[in-house]
Amino acid sequence: MPKKPTYYMLIVFLITSFFINCSKDTNAPIVQNSEVEIEHIKTLGGSKNESAQAVTKTTDGGYAILGYTQSKDGDITNKSNESYDYWVIKYDATNQLQWQKTYGGSGDDRGADLVQTSDGGYAVIGKSKSNDFDVSENAGFDDFWITKLTENGAISWEKTYGFAGSDTPNSIIQTNDNGFLLTGVLDVSASNGQGNRQTTMSQRHAGGDYWVIKLNANGEREWSNYYGGSFTDTAYDAIQTEDDDYIIAGSSDSNDVDISNTNGGYDYWVIKISSTGSLIWEKSFGGSEIDEARAICQTSDGNYLIVGDTRSDDLDVSQTNGAADLWLIKITPEGTLLWEKTMGGTNFDVGRSISKTQDNGFLISGSSRSNDGNLTTNKGQNDAWVLKIDRAGDLEWQKSIGGSETDFFNAVVELNNQTIVAVGDSNSSNEDISENKGFTDLLILKLK
């Protein structure tokens, strides 16, 4: 008889332990970096300055990187001077270099964004001060310069758009009609009100405004419009909506003309425009300090995630971790704020890009100076930072890499085989970064 109670007590103990352990597992913090391994970290460049600004997966399973280069030696080929040029690098699925090419003139030309187009080629946008070699003309200081490339990197056509001031693009998307939407900044004052369909509005604007240009498939302008107020308004990213309109995300420190209900300092400023450029709605998000949105992505439920950084700890920003945090917000197609989250540590942490993954989660790239909070280590100045969140915005894993100098990630993408490529630039030559070839090198991280 004594064995039966002992056996009974053992069963109760095991069942109780099971439920306790399950409960602990459910609520336990996510183990950082447990989901990914570094396949390689690579720097590319010459004796001067290089940077990667964008990366896109390609239909053949590989990826293409856009940035800019100043060098004419090292890893850069067929470049005759030390002015800045666009630099496009194409890798296959096995990480083998297929081709690399530079594009530009004798002035300062820096690539900002690229997309693979429906014909298998590429469309590349950036700013240009040149009016020679690959660049047909320049209207003033910096112009929007778009180049349409074949799948092998040959130029099919190129166009410049701009006026007397510094007009700088930040993003390009291919639209549903196989045209293109370019977004960036127009120097409204220097353009003397040009660049808008309704030039009578020009007296109400000043400084830099969001500038949006719609092109057809051949690069001819269909319309352009600018949006903003009397101060600095910078458009960083755009997305086409399911109803063929557009949502543009960026930052603004204006509080007049097109901008209403600001929170203070710079805010995330998000606008929706029609397919012909008319302003449908505009919303500001943030706190009383500086909040800057950098990238937008659609979610599987038809809403939108916007990422950037915040220095606020009030109003729309519910929590702060340090000097600056990565700030993620989710909005509806009407611009209603659904939720917001901050990520980072006690130092400066920022988000620069967001892209969707095959499991309906998201990858975010940026940089961090923290070694606490959501971060586990810091090697020096800014470390390049990449993180994965699930569809609810909860952190699944994060990884920061770098050396004792400054390292950034500007873009990240998941490839068809679910490996991850993050790109940016680095000044380091120690810790995670084995080699520096000049001043600043183009940086590539591949995770598996």
Compute mean pLDDT per 10 residues along the chain, 448 residues long, and list them: 37 35 34 74 98 98 98 96 97 96 98 98 98 96 98 98 97 98 95 73 75 98 95 97 98 95 94 97 97 98 98 96 97 98 98 98 98 96 98 97 98 97 98 97 97
CA angle in degrees (0–180, nearest 5) for 127-124-71: 65
pTM of the model: 0.92
Return left, alpha or beta for 33; rule: phi > 0 is left, psi -120 to 50 is alpha, else beta: left
What is the distance between the alpha carbons of residues 238 and 170, in angstroms, rounded to a whole number? Answer: 9
Sequence-separated contacts (24+) of 257-261 with Cβ below 8 Å? 257/204, 257/205, 257/228, 257/229, 257/230, 258/227, 258/228, 258/229, 258/282, 259/228, 259/229, 259/233, 259/284, 260/284
pLDDT at res. 26: 31
What is the distance between the alpha carbons of residues 4 and 231, in angstroms, rounded to a whole number? Answer: 81
Q: Quote the longest CA-to-CA distance of the chain.
A: 99
pLDDT at res. 34: 55
Amino acid letter, residue 51: S
Enumerate domains of the chain plus CATH numbers. 59-379 (2.130.10)
pLDDT at res. 198: 60
Residue 118 is classified by DSSP as T
pLDDT at res. 22: 33
pLDDT at res. 205: 80
Tens of pLDDT, residues 283-332:
999 999 999 999 999 999 999 999 999 999 999 999 999 999 999 999 99
Q: How far apart, in Å, are the Cα atoms of 234 and each of 25, 237, 250, 357?
A: 44, 10, 6, 27
pLDDT at res. 265: 87
Residue 200 is classified by DSSP as G
Note whether 365 and 65 are within 8 A (CB): no
8: Cβ contacts below 8 Å, ≥ 6 apart:
none
